[in-house]
Chains A and B, each alone.
Chain A
Amino acid sequence: AQSVSQHNHHVILSEAASLELGCNYSYGGTVNLFWYVQYPGQHLQLLLKYFSGDPLVKGIKGFEAEFIKSKFSFNLRKPSVQWSDTAEYFCAVNNHNTGKLIFGQGTTLQVKP
């Protein structure tokens, strides 16, 4: 069965620190990859997505993610976090055949000012 694993459940950083959130998925076929963010009290918003082409994807608010097919990974990065990045981050994988979107468990990021 297809699954998505996020390694870090809770991350605490100081402002200006660099961020990397891990995401691995298990599925051998063609997939689309996403990172969503949920700010406190709000619903999910798309940060970035990968469908094809350049495996380094740039999203909103300075976030980027790199798709490494051989490692089944799609890690999220940001060089310098801000207090306003405090949120919950979800990695998700969409199976081309079924259209189902499967989410990871989520990572809570807390940025201290």
Chain B
Amino acid sequence: NAGVTQTPKFQVLKTGQSMTLQCAQDMNHEYMSWYRQDPGMGLRLIHYSVGAGITDQGEVPNGYNVSRSTTEDFPLRLLSAAPSQTSVYFCASSSGTSGGAREFFGPGTRLTVL
């Protein structure tokens, strides 16, 4: 199993550009999430999905879109990048909330918006 994979690892954008951060998991997990990590603020939930075709907003959804057409993939789209979106982005997946379920995190994407 590759676990949770993210591409790209690094990205530099200019203000106003759009891009998609890719996330895929091969564990057949229903739950997938996107977080951003900023110094002193921990990880903040952007969007999450409880299954294919179902998405919902987290704490900081503005400026980001997601879709979940398959169980495996959960791309994060920046519609018009802003310097405030400079951050490290982590994708995560889990099998749910019960029993021994826990989040598995991807390696992260470091995004800089100039």
- The residues of A with any CB-CB pair to B shorter than 8 Å are 4, 6, 9, 32, 34, 36, 43-46, 49, 51, 90, 92, 94-96, 98-106
Contact = CB atoms under 8 A, between A and B. Distances in A.
A35 B3 CA distance: 20
Main secondary structure of the interface of A (DSSP, over half): strand
Contacts of A92: 43, 103
Interface of B: 31, 33, 35, 40-45, 48, 50, 56, 58-59, 90, 92, 94, 96-103, 105-108
Contacts of A51: 98-100
Contacts of A99: 31, 48, 50, 94, 96-97
Contacts, number: 64
Contacts of B108: 43
A43 B48 CA distance: 19
B102 A34 contact: yes
B99 A44 contact: no
A38 to B, nearest CB: 8
Given A6-B42, A92-B43, A103-B43, 8 more contacts: A43-B105, A43-B106, A51-B98, A51-B99, A51-B100, A92-B103, A99-B97, A106-B42
Contacts of B90: 43-44
A90 B97 contact: no
A101 B43 CA distance: 10
Contacts of B99: 51
Given A43-B108, A46-B102, A100 B45 contact: yes
